[in-house]
Amino acid sequence: MVLESLVSIKEAIRKPSSMFFLGIIDSVVCMVISYFIFEQSTGMFTVFLITISMTPFINRLLRYIEAKEEKVITTEDYFDFSFWERHKRVIQIYVFFFSGMIVAMSLTYVLLPQHKIEKLFYDQINEINIIRGKFVFADKFTEIVTNNISVLALSFLFSFIFGSGAVFILAWNASVLAAAIGIAAKSFGGVKGIPLAVLMFFPHGSLEILAYFIGGIAGGIASAAFVRRKSIRFWYIVRDSLKLLVVGVVLLIVAGIIETLALVA
């Protein structure tokens, strides 16, 4: 594919920030295609197109990372490398790509006329309204944490089963968050209100998104390790995957506390 070939695996690992621009380009192209081809559920089809376009890249990335880990790190010195050193590159790649999607979609929401926004982000706006409705009557903390952990589990399972399935979860959450930022930014005066809108969601949103990254990475490296399960390092990598999941759950609990306090305040 042309889009996912704009940045090579080695370039992404050497310079993760290049994924930021790929996230912007990929999002814009997929939004344009979805807008003109799909009359219904345009927002959801945008997410599908982003997932499809990035599937080959993410699959190759996860296989490369896992194979390199097996080749370089022996069972004897495996734990000489910190948890962050073993996984920082793939986390950075996810973060930069996700940030690119957020920027592209948020600006699109703010700059386009209302009637085009309603078509392009209909599914995302509907999801935001559903979330708001739940929080009025439900136990806020339990509802938030339960919902977020279910998304983390889906991120892990999708990534484990499909390799790049986590991209769908991340792209969907990026589009919903971008719509929420766009709604807030318009109430603050348009493009100039985007920084303030981002600050509204950053305290809890950054932790939630990081947890979803971690869930996707955990599922991806577990999937790659399972395919190569004859390796003597198989159980070490599986253990790392489980550790990542635990870290993700802890992040979501902290994020839930922050978000609940913000809603109650």
Averaged confidence pLDDT in the chain:
79
Residue 244 has pLDDT above 70, yes or no: yes
Average pLDDT over residues 170-181: 86
Token digits of residue 226: 């399972």
- 3 domain residue, yes or no: no
Q: Considering the chain, what percentage of its residues have pLDDT values greater than 90?
A: 15
Phi, psi of 175 (to 5 degrees): -70, -40
- What's this model's pTM, rounded to 2 decimal places? 0.79
169 is a domain residue: yes
List, for residues 65-116, the tens digit of each pLDDT value.
666 665 555 544 555 556 666 667 777 888 889 889 999 999 999 999 988 9
State the residue range of the domain holding 139.
Answer: 9-264
Report how far apart, in Å, the C-alpha atoms of 168 and of each of 59, 183, 194 are: 13, 23, 25
Phi and psi torsions of 16, nearest 5°: -55, -25
Contact (CB, 8 A) for 50 and 26? yes
Q: What is the pLDDT of residue 34?
A: 93
Cβ 254 vs Cβ 207: under 8 Å: yes
Does residue 1 form part of some domain? no
Any domain includes 114: yes
Closest alpha carbon to 22 in 34, 33, 32, 8: 8
43 and 182 Cβ atoms separated by less than 8 Å: no
The answer to whether residue 156 sits within a structural domain is: yes
User: Please, are residues 211 and 153 in contact by the beta-carbon 8 Å criterion?
Assistant: no
User: Model confidence over 19-42: pLDDT tens digits?
Assistant: 899 999 999 999 999 999 987 888
The H-or-E segment that residue 188 falls in is none
2 part of a folded domain:
no
pLDDT-derived band at 229, boundaries 50, 70, 90:
low
- Domains identified in the chain, total number: 1
Tell me whether residue 4 is in a domain.
no
Q: What's the token pair of residue 182?
A: 């766009």
- The lowest-confidence range among 68-72, 101-105, 120-124, 150-154 is 68-72
In a domain, 245, yes or no: yes
Q: State the pLDDT at residue 20.
A: 92
Cα–Cα dist 189/157, whole Å = 40
CA distance 164 to 84: 21
